[in-house]
A and B are shown apart, each in its own frame.
Chain A
């Protein structure tokens, strides 16, 4: 019986090369933003756990993978007695490349931050999860003392990685969070993030280092966008959201700003029964069965197996040839199962 990590996920066309060609460009901070905050740096060479956590909290570091404050995450890992800590240096999204660029250009910082984080949560082993085997070969020389994991090329790569190495119950933190932790040890608060500008609505694909709070519009302008893109999306091309107000500030979770020329085609056909959604789901949910249950008007909660496990990666919707919005269907099923909403079909 093949392990699920070998077959789950959906193959999306990835276009990572264009944005990785150049270096990360630092965009100037827009006027009106406060100066970056500083505080007392850590003095010892190998500081203790409490000091590291304190520095992380003082710097206000938020992990870009899931939006959890790093201090809280590290204390949780410490309580769980995590043995392995992995820095996630790849991006799930087919168009974003921020983490990869950070690993390539700020290697020393990421390593230092990873060491501090491992010390903070008591993990004996450190790993770097890089985007591919080629990336591992490229970075191996520059990263002594850490092991490497290679992510697969199916979306969602992070969930697949977690499935694959599930037995080791590794903790995961983002590469940018590691770099920010290294900076926090030097007394600087987290005030910047790396954002990928991509999509067929911009002519110049790049990674930008921007101050937190910069309007999304200025980041978009750096990529020389087209006259009238139809959609501007942030966070992800697969399960992100569209922005209508370009003055929205950039946050840690804004991993990418994507502009598309055309609206995605929305004609949803009925379910064909190909089963691709069930194969794509990394959590073992069967979306077509859930869709059938909801459409029948009298859903049996027994058949809504596992909807509470959904991580909202959107792989099911991306895999569906009929274009059904399966991620929304599973979310509605979760509400139904919890006993709230009516199926309302």
Chain B
């Protein structure tokens, strides 16, 4: 029997990159279920168009570079799915496509192979869309009226302000904070169903695809600032509830901030990074122009991630070579 000379290891710990990407993609698909049930098949169209654009851009870049189109398709799928989640359902179809194209062409491909991009592509794509077409990105429809959205073409809908916009004006939103959990409020496509986002988050933590310390740091810092500096006149607890449950804060904390490529690699680094991103998000909510600042805050925090790693490792190195038999 011809035996081959292979190198160890011959068995592996169960986690693979493909598995992690698959879990993330599954979680994102789960977020699409509720909108499809409530509003018809249009969410699928948006998600599908965005994913197709991502794939097309990636193939284009591979052709230009004359390399073969390789494995990391899955991570492109995750980018393509998370971009339309942060955009409204009533956005024209070209909006998530433009955002995805920017995400892949400007935030992922120029930095080389998979695993090297310093900035989260989905956050970059949505930030680009927010800067270029702010009216379209932040105009939501009122979900209390039942209407179906046609697949193509415009739909007649009544515009409404999302709770995040109301908070930005300094007024208290009309709904009770805990009603925000069910997802029947105006807001981006995938971020209003808080319970589903939380469940997906739990799924990602349990399968070790995402690291819980980032989300914990993010939410902790945001909650602290919300309690200490409420934007509206109310008790700290209400402020915390409103801030954490409105806008895309929770979605950003669970899906975007935990991207393993752009977050730091050390435990303490990750805690600090999560807290930093959370604090920046609240700062953008206080002082920024737009009602949601998760994407911008995350991009800034991404820039600091390698610095945090170096700092942690240097501190560890200075502690000296500790314990060893």
Contacts and interface: CB of A to CB of B under 8 A. Distances in A.
> So, do A and B actually touch in the complex, CB under 8 Å?
yes
B8 A241 contact: yes
A325 B7 contact: yes
Contact of A242 (B1, B5, B262): B5
A241 B3 CA distance: 12
Contacts of B14: 11, 13
Given A4-B323, A269-B71, A238 B10 contact: yes
A317 B9 contact: yes
Contact of A319 (B4, B13, B114): B13
Contacts of A306: 321
Main secondary structure of the interface of A (DSSP, over half): loop
Interface string A1-41: 00010000011110000000000000000000000000000
Contacts of B17: 269, 272, 321-322
Given A163-B325, A270-B115, A318-B13, A240 B265 contact: no
A162 B325 contact: yes
Interface residues of B, number: 41
Main secondary structure of the interface of B (DSSP, over half): loop
Nearest to B262: A273
B260 A274 contact: yes
B57 to A, nearest CB: 19
A269 B10 contact: no
Contacts of B260: 272-274
A166 B324 contact: yes
A278 interface: yes
B9 A230 contact: no
Contacts of A283: 324
Nearest to A5: B323
Interface of A: 4, 10-13, 94-95, 162-163, 166, 169, 227-233, 236-244, 246, 258, 260, 263-264, 267, 269-276, 278, 280, 283-284, 286, 288-289, 302-303, 305-306, 309, 314, 317-319, 321-323, 325, 327-328
Interface of B: 1-17, 19-20, 71-72, 113-116, 260-263, 265-267, 309, 313, 316-317, 321-325
Closest 6 CB pairs of A and B: A270-B115, A275-B265, A238-B9, A166-B325, A10-B13, A321-B15
Given A230-B6, A274-B265, A286-B313, 15 more contacts: A11-B14, A227-B1, A232-B3, A237-B8, A237-B10, A243-B3, A263-B6, A264-B6, A264-B12, A267-B71, A272-B260, A273-B261, A275-B265, A289-B313, A322-B16
